Structure formats: C-alpha cells, structure tokens
Amino acid sequence: MRAYTAGDTDVPLLEETIGQNFERVVGRFPFHDALIEAAPVPGADARRWSYTKMNDDVDRLARALLALGVAKGDRVGIWSPNCAEWTLLQYATAKAGAILVNVNPAYRGHELEFVVKQSGMRMLVTAPTDRNSDYVAMARKALAGCPDLKELVFLPDASADGLDAGVPESDAELTYAELLKRADAVGHSGLRARMAELDPHDAINLQYTSGTTGFPKGATLTHHNILNNGYSIGELLGYTEHDRVVIPVPFYHCFGMVIGNLNALSHGAATIIPGRGFTASAALEAVQDFGGTSLYGVPTMFIAELALPDFTSYDLSTLRTGVMAGSTCPIEVMNRVISEMNMTDVAICYGMTETSPVSTMTRNGDTLQQRTETVGRTMPQLESQIIDPGSGDVLERGQIGELCTRGYAVMEGYWNQPEKTAEAIDADGWMHTGDLARMDNDGYVVVEGRIKDMVIRGGENIYPREIEEFLYTHPSIQDVQVIGVPDTNYGEELMACIILKPGAEPLDAAAVADFCRGRLAHYKIPRYVDVRESFPMTVSGKIRKVEMREEAVARLGL
C-alpha cells in the first residue's frame, strides 16, 4: 500500500476573511469571554474582554492604522512577548488588510533589522524594555537604519519588571495610547470600506522561520491558510463556546496565534494568557483561576508543570483537552498528562510554519500508543505522502522517507524569495518538510526526526528518537535528546544529552551503556553522555540540536 493519504472532505473550507469570521462569531456570542489576560503584576486584576468589547477595541485599533495611512498589504510588525495587545493587533491588521509580521521576541538588534528590511516593514509595534531585552533601544536603531520603517509604537508597560515603556522622542514614535487616539480621524464606514476590499486569499501574515541555519525566511500566509487551519483544529478538538483555552505558548509562532487564538476565537471560546512568557506555575494557576478546559504546550512545558513540587495542589478538574506540539511526547509524560491533569482528549499536532501550521493530528479516541508514537493522521482537506528523498518516488507504507504535505494550508511562498520557495514547494504543490517519517497501515504518521538529524554511524542509519524513547524509561532521566557528533572511525557517534530528575543519582556514559546493553543494538548505545540543566530551544519550544552539536564538538575537541 502506498504511503499516501487524503484527509476528510466532509466539512467545506471557510471562504471568508479573518475579520468576517470574527464578526460572525461576535454576533453569536456577544457577551461571552473572548480574551483574558492574567494579572501581569501580582495583586492586580486580570484584564478581560467579551467578544463585543474585543471587537470594539479591534475596530478602534484598525481605524487608527488606517488614520496613519496603513494601506492594504503594508507590513506591520509585532515584536513582543504574549500580551492582550498582541491579540488585538492580530485581528486589527486582519481587518485593515495589513500583513502582520511576527517578530521573535528573542531577536537581537541585527536580527530585528534583517526582518524589518527583508519584509519592507512600515510600522513596528514593540514591547516595553524589560530585564531580558532592551526592545526600545533596538527598535530605535532599526528605525534609524531601515528607510521603509515609518513608525514605532510602544506598548504599555504592565509587567512587574518593565523598565521602559518607551517615551516618544520623535514624530515617528507613538505610545499605544497615542496610536488609539488617531482612530477618531477615521469613521466606521472607512473601516467597512477597507474590509470590503479584502479577499480570503490575500496574504495577511508573515512568519519568519527560526533560522537555525542561515538567515530566516518569511513564510507568507493568507487568511484562507491560517483561518481554516485554526478552525479545523478546533473542530477536531470538539471546541465550543464553552471552552476556555489556556495559551502559554508564544503568539509570535503559529502555535500561539493559529492553534491558539484563531482556533479558539473561531469557535466562540475564551483565550487565556497566563503571562508574558512561560512559567509552569502561571500556566497551572491560569487553568485553576479561570476554569481552563484546554491547555497548550510543548512536551518540555508539560514536564516542567508535572515536576512542580506543589503540582498536586492545583485544581485541574476543569481540563479535558489540549494540544502538544513541537516534538514527540514521551509515553510516561503522556500517561501523567491524561491521568493527573485530566486531559483525556489531549491531541498531538504536527506541522511547520509553512503549512499554517498543522498538517497531521491525532483524534479524540486515539490510543495512548497513537498519541505517543505517531503524530496522527492527515488533517481534513489536506494530503500527505512519504517519498524517497533521492528519487521522489512515493514509498510503501512502513518505509522511512521524507514527509510531504499538499493542500489549502501550504503557504503562498517565502516573502520575496522565489528560489527558496521553489526549493520547498515542488511543481505539483507538495511542501517538502525535511522530516523523515513513515506511515502505518491505518494512515498514522510516525516522525523519525529531521533528515539532517539522522545519525549515520559506520553505515547504519540511526534515528535519535528511538533511543530517546528508550532512555526516557530510565528512572533517573527527566528529559533527553540524542545527537550525532563527529568520529574518525565511524563517521558519527551518539551523544545522549540528559536532564536528571531532582535528587536523582548522577549518570555517566558507563552507567547509560549498562542500562542499554542487551536492550538496544550495540551501535545505538551512546558513546558520550552530557548531563545538563536545560536544552537550547527556539522560542516555539523546538530543541536546537544544531547548537547542541556545536557545543559538543567544541567541548570534546572533535
């Protein structure tokens, strides 16, 4: 049987813009909670928006953009950790027809300037300076050095460690409050006229890939791409207007703004922001305080939540579902998430920024094995296939090759990079993911890792995930990543990078080898062990194995 599947086509795709969809939902649930931001300062009240209030504030912000001369297709950047204004701007730019450019909050000045220039950004909305980033100074430097950038807008300082909310120093700089005042110059009819010009297939979002190799590329996504993907995920999760979705993952990434915001808000559900960045305690407090029914995270976030010393003190009885994405979930972690966090319907989502992002997903009722060993089945209205990376031929089920996706979710392309686009999307419309995977007889996809992460030791192809899953069964190991490092004799050798459980006995290479011996093939036993406190990650929660390899090579003198 060929390793090809097509998703269900029973539910038609939405043919509306994000703004039209949101207004339709507002009409159905005007007084339901739409957006809740947990108190950014201890002791303060949470900020809340009903659907009607959120729509009013979105319209005011959209009219302010029009008053400043923001045209359809202009690029407006948002450079901030999660906050309510992020969500408001996401919907305001969609109504105004501007292309929202998501800028990674971890970027430094040169990375920011690259994205501003590459996208042709005309406005940047930036977070207040905090202890981690001098956003204001870096934004001003970009304003001075990027001729297309006309305005800086400084978000208000509502955090406990905020140092500078940004005081305008020129006519090109505004506070967020000053921006909103500009809305008075444009009537509601002006906004309605702009919305009437928009088409669901217009580009509306630029998301820059993490850029672990080379410069980041701007995936260009349309209303049609991301609205339908978000809505489809919500349908499979069984979302209704009664759901309350806790979103500790970053909005700058598809996980937060599509799987989170667009998904929940297209179903009349509430979105809950636990804080500017992830902390395990804040995420669980948000579930407890606001009756969260769904919780999001990458596996390392759930591992951190379960490891809290006072984990059992949190009331998580309202939870029923959630989404895990970013990397494969160890079976022990999934067991605890289901049994101890009440997330019986938790789903695994797989995809990439370039596919809006989800292309495969587990379903309610899938077995524990399917939710830990696979990334689910093909999403509705999409296609998946596994090909030989060399010949391009579709493989048989069970064979390992490159996973490819086709359908409505595939991006328009990389912004102003037609050659890079052609490398990623072939002439038949298939997006080449760069992931090694196989498909079982029931159509479930098992991701074996990145093509570039596969370790070739003495001619043997080794998939790190298999070894990681085995090492998770060691009683002292909390988290583990396996990488390949150079070796004179075998080409590559294995290194296990390990985070120990609190209070666990130390581990070294000999102890790990003893644990593996007789249970793994000899060539799969790690030669090196690196016990560490944490793993380097992208803001979206993906492990930066490239960086770990570089560190290992330098440390071992390889």
More confident residue, 453 or 494: 494
Q: What is the mean pLDDT of the chain?
A: 93
| Bridging pattern class, strands 401-407 and 431-439 | antiparallel
The sign of the dihedral angle between the CA atoms of 319, 325, 326, 331 is positive
More confident residue, 402 or 166: 402
Distance of CA 50 to the CA centre of its chain: 25
For residue 499, give the H/E element and its range.
strand 491-500
> Rounded distance, CA 99 to CA 121, Å?
9
Q: Which of 63-67, 213-217, 472-476 has the lowest mean pLDDT?
A: 213-217
Averaged pLDDT for residues 260-268: 98
Averaged pLDDT for residues 364-386: 95
Burial class (CB in 10 A: 0-12, 13-18, 19+), 360: buried
Residue with tokens 């294995």: 494
Confidence category of residue 161, pLDDT binned at 50, 70, 90: low
Q: Answer for the pair 86, 35: CB distance below 8 angstroms, yes or no.
A: no
The pLDDT of residue 164: 61
Burial class (CB in 10 A: 0-12, 13-18, 19+), 397: middle
Averaged pLDDT for residues 501-513: 94
Of all residues in the chain, the percent with pLDDT exceeding 90 is 81
Top CATH class of 462-556 equals alpha beta
The pLDDT of residue 451: 83
For the stretch 181-205, pLDDT in tens is: 999 999 999 999 999 999 999 999 9
Residue spans in the chain of domains classed CATH 3.40.50.980: 47-199
Greatest extent of the chain over all pairs of C-alpha atoms, in Å:
75
> Rounded distance, CA 401 to CA 78, Å?
37
For the stretch 96-143, pLDDT in tens is: 999 999 998 988 898 899 999 999 999 999 999 888 889 999 999 999
pTM above 0.75, yes or no: yes
For the stretch 422-473, pLDDT in tens is: 999 999 999 999 999 999 999 999 998 888 888 888 878 787 888 998 999 9
Confidence category of residue 212, pLDDT binned at 50, 70, 90: very low
For the stretch 291-315, pLDDT in tens is: 999 999 988 899 999 999 999 999 9
The pLDDT of residue 186: 98
The pLDDT of residue 288: 98
For the stretch 511-522, pLDDT in tens is: 999 999 988 888
> Rounded distance, CA 281 to CA 26, Å?
32
Question: Which residues, other chains included, contact 161 with Cβ-Cβ below 8 Å and sequence gap of 6+?
Answer: 130, 131
Question: Which residues, other chains included, contact 99 with Cβ-Cβ below 8 Å and sequence gap of 6+?
Answer: 73, 74, 75, 76, 93, 119, 203, 204, 205, 206, 220
More confident residue, 80 or 157: 80
What single-letter DSSP state applies at residue 394?
B
**H helices of 276-329, where?**
280-290, 299-306
CA angle 376, 8, 20 (to 5 degrees): 100
CATH of domain 47-199: 3.40.50.980
Residue spans in the chain of domains classed CATH 3.30.300.30: 462-556
> Rounded distance, CA 5 to CA 385, Å?
7
Confidence category of residue 163, pLDDT binned at 50, 70, 90: low
